[in-house]
Amino acid sequence: MCFPRSIRRGCGWLVLFLCWFSRVEAKVQFDVFPGFDNSVRAGTWYPVTIEVFNDGPSFDAVVELSGGRFGGTTVRVPVELPTNTRKRFSIPLFASSQTVVAVDGRLLDSKGRVQDERQGQQVGLLAWDVPLLAALPGSFSGVPTYPETERVAREQWKLRVARLQAEIFPDNSISLEGLNSLYLNSARALELKEPQVAALLNWVRTGGQLIVAVDQANDVSTTPWLRDVLPATLGGQTNVRLGTELHRWVTQGDWSPRFAFRSPRANTRSGDVYRNLAPDLSVDVTDTPLLQLRSPRGTVLKTASGAPWLVADAWGRGQVVLLGFNPEREPLKSWRLRPWFWAKLTAVPEAFLESTSLDFRGGRGVDVVFGAMVDTEQIRKLPIGALLLLLLVYLAVIGPIDQWWLKKINRPMLTWITFPIYVLLFSGLIYFIGYKLRAGQTEWNELQVVDVLPTADENRALLRGRTYGGLYSPANETYRLITPVAMAAMRGESKNLYGGSPDPGRLDITQEAQRVVADAYVPVWTSTMNVADWAEEEEAPMVGRALGGKRFEVVNRTSKTLGPVWLVVENQSVRIAELRAGATKEVDLSEGEDFRASLQQQQQQIGAAVSFRDQAFASGNRQPVSDWAGATVMASFPADLNSSPSDGQGYVWPPGLDLSETLARGDALCLAWMPDTGVLPPQNQFEAPRSRRGALLRLAIPSRP
């Protein structure tokens, strides 16, 4: 059948209209979820989860994020968006302020046009020394809680518990480092995908505390990774009266978690805040279902009948805690002391549980210590006396001297000509002085601090590294930096948590599938420092083992000579000049020297170098940190750099950097310096006539053979 031409034309226009209408109606849904349930800790990494749904035509998009008001760091992630697809992923950002954190997110197409955006999403901010607990509970009402105290002076000091969802759980262990503890119900473990599980286990290995409650024994038997990580096997279920035992433990029991980061306020703990808690008799008159915990390892807490109700064991530098009961079910769900139980289990400092005023604990980021080490020595600073003399000469020339000689030649009207000449001459003089003081060659200095965390396979280890890169530029230039690790993140220097003093440069970061690429803009005659945090499982570069007593053995598995090497236990240390490639060394620490006293000189040099770097003008001779090895070892104990424990102007540091907890629990430390090299290839993708590299390997050795 042949339709009239007018009908065919009308149908064509109708088809075109419908296609155009469907294209107009097709929208992109773009959502940004910052933080752990909208909470982050200052001075740490946190995840930003992105969810994009595209029901329109396919296109290549770029997600662009920036965090905080200060600094100039932008993170971009390329993503393909086919028609009718939903993609969800997380990106690590760094909380560089202790006052406010706001996340800006934009969705761009391949031509840079904005498709959607979410601007100024503020996040609930906690002080850097306030512990943060996250939870993946079996039910909404099963989220742990903390005791309610009187209204605190600052919102940043208020204890919080972040409720997470399995579908938006981060898949990058760097993002999780803002957490101290994580509660996991076994029912939720089934929902975690493989990348999320890998991130979770890496986080525990680097110092987190994982608390597991079993909802059904079948949850563990059908989840191999959870079965392997638990410190005990599961048996049958019995009913016991737990009220008296739990009350005794909360009010009087001793509990010392192994996980690495502990608030500096923890040393004020006395137990008084728990001792006067009244018992809740309703729990002791009702049976509690208790799973049998067989073949327990590590710390075991038992009931009066001898049945374990909690088992905890080390997992790397962290800890896994297994509860024999489900705290989300009755009678423990209604237990009045349940918030205090969670506070005790997660080692909340008592200062946050008492109705007392807390002192402000800000300070400089420990980044400034590493910044003083990798900073260029080409820049010299003008003494304040010379600046004042130059100012006086300038004022004298444009004032009385100009007036005197113009009056002498009887040409006072020439001041309209002489004054601009003076300005030009002194401007040229200032430029010449600046050139002489600050001009130099392109310089790249790189320092890597790498924690070696053994896995089940003794030949392999999780390497948790921090790369500090100092870059000096003789011109206004942009430089390419690459961190060739899939699980990595980059940021600028965190100088303090007061929310100011950002670096003068700008850092544009692109998170690719197997690496992180950054373009660092550095203004002329200035230097800046950038930090890359990364984690990767590789062949173990070194292995250590206890031989009994204070005798230890360490093996260098790298192809390079290490040295110097420190072996430390308690506060005794032995310093080895060098450890050749493939060599094994046995060390007896029973007659070692005082470790911290041996580093006293390094502490003084670090303080002088940081002070000189902070000054705009010189007030004395520069004292650069020439001994990178000793200074990096000293910086591994940042609490020792503070003048006193109550010094609010001291240093603050990210979780996992301080090794004091490792020594406090009795383990030994092997600190090995890798001169003129590193674990990863150099970050710089440009020629640097001046360059220096080095890396410190940090290995914790269990004190038991």
pLDDT for position 97 = 78
Q: Are both 423 and 451 inside the same structural domain?
A: no
Residues 418 and 526 in one domain: no
Q: What is the pLDDT of residues 633-679, one digit of tens each?
A: 999 998 887 754 444 457 888 889 999 888 888 889 999 999 999 99
Residue at 421 is within a domain: yes
Token reading at 647: 């010094």
- pLDDT for 47 beyond 90: yes
pLDDT at 647: 41
Residue 24 pLDDT greater than 50, yes or no:
no
Residue of 361 and 151 predicted with greater confidence: 361
pLDDT cut 90: percent of the chain above it:
54
688 occurs within a structural domain: yes
Using CA atoms, how far residue 102 sits from 97, 119, 259, 332, in Å, is: 10, 8, 29, 38
Q: Is 154 exposed, middle or buried (0-12, 13-18, 19+ CB in 10 A)?
A: middle
Q: Which of 107-111, 516-520, 614-618 has the lowest mean pLDDT?
A: 614-618
Same domain, 453 and 569: yes
- Answer yes or no: is 9 within a domain: yes
Lowest mean pLDDT among 94-98, 465-469, 486-490, 639-643: 639-643
pLDDT at 497: 73
- pLDDT digit string, tens, across residues 576-593: 999 999 999 999 988 889
416 shares its domain with 493: no
Query: How confident is residue 4, by pLDDT bands cut at 50, 70 and 90?
Result: low
- pLDDT over threshold 90, residue 506: no
Tokens of 477: 């230039």
Band of residue 499 on the pLDDT scale cut at 50, 70, 90: low
Whether residue 12 lies inside any domain: the answer is yes
DSSP letters spanning 156-195: GGS--EEEP-GGG--S-GGGGGG-SEEEEEHHHHTT--HH
pLDDT at 68: 54
Do 394 and 493 share a structural domain? no
Tell me the average pLDDT of the chain: 86
Q: What are phi and psi of 655, to 5 degrees?
A: -60, 140
Q: What is the pLDDT of residues 423-449, one digit of tens each?
A: 888 888 887 877 777 888 999 999 999
Average pLDDT over residues 264-279: 71
Q: Does one domain contain both 513 and 406? A: no
Residues 559 and 428 in one domain: no
Angle between helices 628-635 and 600-614 (to 10 degrees): 90
- Whether the predicted pLDDT of 18 surpasses 50: no
Which range marks the domain in which residue 396 is found? Answer: 384-438
From 126, 161, 191, the end of a domain falls on 126
Give a yes or no: residue 183 inside a domain. Answer: no
Average pLDDT for 594-613:
83
Residue 541, pLDDT > 50, answer yes
Q: Output the pTM of the full model.
A: 0.90
- Model confidence at 365: pLDDT above 70: yes
pLDDT score recorded for residue 267 = 47
In this structure, the answer to whether residues 566 and 600 fall within a common structural domain is yes
**pLDDT for the residue numbered 543:** 95
> 22's torsion region: left (phi>0), alpha (psi -120 to 50) or beta?
alpha
419 and 458 together in one domain: no
Mean pLDDT along residues 460-480: 96
Res 22: pLDDT: 43
Same domain, 419 and 482: no
Evaluate whether residue 317 is within a structural domain. Answer: no
The verdict on residue 301 lying in a domain is: no
Is 536 in the same domain as 548?
yes
The phi, psi pair for 487, rounded to 5°, reads: -95, 85
Model pLDDT, residue 258: 65
Q: What is the CATH number of the domain that holds 25?
A: 2.60.40.10
Final residue in a domain of this structure, among 126, 146, 177: 126
**Which residue, of 92, 108, 126, is where some domain finishes?**
126
Residue 303 reports pLDDT greater than 70: yes
In a domain, 252, yes or no: no
Cβ(686)–Cβ(480) below 8 Å: yes
Q: Are 539 and 533 in contact (CB under 8 A)?
A: no
Least confident range of 219-223, 304-308, 621-625: 621-625
**What is the per-residue pLDDT across 118-143, written as a single tens digit (0 to 9) for each?**
988 888 888 888 899 999 999 988 99
The lowest-confidence range among 11-25, 379-393, 558-572 is: 11-25
Mark whether 397 and 482 lie in a shared domain.
no
User: How many domains does the chain divide into?
Assistant: 3
CB 294 within 8 A of CB 214: no
Half-sphere exposure of 177 (CA within 13 A, CB side): 28
CB atoms within 10 A of CB 502: 20
